[in-house]
C-alpha cells in the first residue's frame, strides 16, 4: 500500500495538472472487434502510439467492418463482431514475415533481445484466446482472474512483464487496471522521486482514483491512466521523467 504522503502527493499533482473538465477515454477503448484489442496491445509496447494507430487502420480489410463502435457504448452484439477464430483464419496460414510486411506493414519485434515479430506475437495471443474459447468481448470477463491464461500469455516472447496483458484487458473493457508502462512510471517517479514497480503503479493509481472519487470526480484507474498518458505525451521530452517538486 502507498504511504499517505505518497498518495497525497500524487493525488494533489493530478488535481493540479490533469484535465478533469471533460475526462473521457480515447477511441481505442471502443474497438468494435476483440482481435483489434490484441493487435493494439501487442504493437503498442515500446513505441510511439501513432504507429500503433496506423497498424490498426490497416486492419479494416481484415475485419470488413468499421473499426470502432460508438464512443462510450458497450460492445456490440457478438453476431456483429469479427470473432477471434475468424480473424485467425485470415492470418494464421501466412508466415510472420509476410504478415509483418504485407498485412501489418510493421516489422517491429517484441524486444530487441530474442524478440519475435509483433505480427507473430499477435497470432500467438489470438491462439491462446481461442484455446480458452474466448471469441468476443462478452467472453473476456471470465479470464481476468484466470492465472493459467495469464501464464500462457506471459510465455509469449516479450510479454513476460504482463503490461501487454493488462492493456489488452483495459481495451476489452476492464476499468480497474492500468497500463504501467514507461509513461505512467515516469509520471509517478517525477512526482515522488522514486522508481515504482509495475505492481506499485497499479496499486497507487487505484488508490488515487478512489481519492478522486471521494472528492466528487467520476474516475476509475483506467480513465486516470488515460488522462496521465495524454498529459505525459504533451510534455517536452526533457521534462517527461524529471522531478516535479516545483508544482507540489
Better-scored residue on pLDDT, 242 or 140: 140
Q: Which cell numbers hold the place of 211?
A: 481519492
Contact 35, 82 (CB under 8 A): yes
- Which pLDDT tens digit goes with each residue over 8-46? 999 999 999 999 998 899 999 999 999 999 999 999 998
| Shared domain check, 201 and 114 | no
| Shared domain check, 166 and 58 | yes
| Shared domain check, 166 and 45 | yes
- Looking up residue 38, the CATH number of its domain turns out to be 1.10.340
**Domain termination site, one of 171, 194, 224:** 171
| Shared domain check, 145 and 55 | yes
Rounded to whole angstroms, how far apart are CA atoms 114 and 98?
19
Q: pLDDT grade, residue 64 (50/70/90)?
A: confident
Residues in CB range of 202: below 8 A, 6 or more apart: 166, 177, 178, 180, 221
| Shared domain check, 68 and 126 | yes
Q: Which cell numbers hold the place of 28?
A: 481505442
**Domain termination site, one of 132, 148, 171:** 171
Q: What is the mean pLDDT of residues 170-175?
A: 97
| Shared domain check, 156 and 56 | yes
| Shared domain check, 231 and 208 | yes
Q: Which cell numbers hold the place of 213?
A: 472519487
Q: What is the mean pLDDT of residues 154-180?
A: 96
pLDDT of residue 199: 94
**Domain termination site, one of 171, 196, 220:** 171
Residues in CB range of 223: below 8 A, 6 or more apart: 23, 24, 25, 175, 209
In this predicted structure, the answer to whether residue 243 has a pLDDT above a threshold of 50 is no
Structural domain total, the chain:
2
Rounded to whole angstroms, how far apart are CA atoms 18 and 34?
30
Residue 136 Cα to chain centre, angstroms: 18
142-155 burial, b at 16+ Cβ within 10 Å, e below that, comes to ebeeeeebbebbee
Q: Which cell numbers hold the place of 195?
A: 522508481
| Shared domain check, 19 and 35 | no
Full domain range(s) for residue 188? 4-25+178-247
Q: What is the mean pLDDT of residues 204-216?
A: 97
Q: Which cell numbers hold the place of 188?
A: 509517478
| Shared domain check, 63 and 18 | no
pLDDT of residue 237: 66
| Shared domain check, 154 and 35 | yes
| Shared domain check, 102 and 195 | no
CA distances to 78, 98, 106, 113, 168 from 220, rounded to whole Å, are 26, 40, 33, 35, 17
Q: pLDDT grade, residue 236 (50/70/90)?
A: confident
Q: pLDDT grade, residue 129 (50/70/90)?
A: very high
- Which pLDDT tens digit goes with each residue over 79-123? 999 999 999 999 989 999 999 999 999 999 998 888 999 999 999
Amino acid at each position: 500500500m502507498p504511504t499517505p504522503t505518497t498518495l497525497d502527493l500524487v493525488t494533489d499533482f493530478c488535481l493540479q495538472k490533469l484535465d478533469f473538465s471533460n475526462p473521457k477515454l480515447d477511441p481505442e477503448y471502443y474497438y468494435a472487434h476483440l482481435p483489434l484489442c490484441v493487435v493494439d496491445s501487442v504493437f503498442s509496447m515500446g513505441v510511439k502510439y501513432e504507429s500503433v494507430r496506423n497498424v490498426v487502420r490497416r486492419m479494416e480489410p481484415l475485419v470488413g467492418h468499421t473499426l470502432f463502435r460508438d464512443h462510450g457504448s458497450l460492445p456490440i452484439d457478438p453476431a456483429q463482431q469479427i470473432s477471434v477464430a475468424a480473424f485467425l483464419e485470415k492470418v494464421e496460414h501466412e508466415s510472420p514475415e509476410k504478415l509483418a510486411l504485407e498485412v501489418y506493414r510493421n516489422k517491429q519485434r517484441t524486444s530487441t533481445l530474442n524478440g519475435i515479430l509483433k505480427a507473430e506475437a499477435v497470432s500467438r495471443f489470438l491462439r491462446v484466446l481461442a484455446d480458452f474459447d474466448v471469441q468476443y468481448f462478452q467472453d473476456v470477463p471470465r479470464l481476468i482472474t484466470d492465472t493459467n491464461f495469464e501464464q500462457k500469455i506471459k510465455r509469449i516472447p516479450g510479454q513476460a512483464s504482463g503490461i501487454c496483458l493488462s492493456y489488452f484487458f483495459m481495451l476489452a473493457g476492464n476499468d480497474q487496471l492500468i497500463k504501467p508502462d514507461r509513461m505512467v512510471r515516469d509520471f509517478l517517479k517525477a512526482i515522488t522521486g522514486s522508481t515504482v514497480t509495475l505492481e506499485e503503479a497499479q496499486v497507487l493509481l487505484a488508490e488515487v482514483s478512489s481519492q478522486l472519487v471521494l472528492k466528487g470526480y467520476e474516475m476509475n484507474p483506467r480513465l486516470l491512466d488515460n488522462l496521465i498518458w495524454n498529459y505525459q505525451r504533451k510534455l517536452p521530452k526533457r521534462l517527461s521523467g524529471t522531478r516535479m517538486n516545483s508544482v507540489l
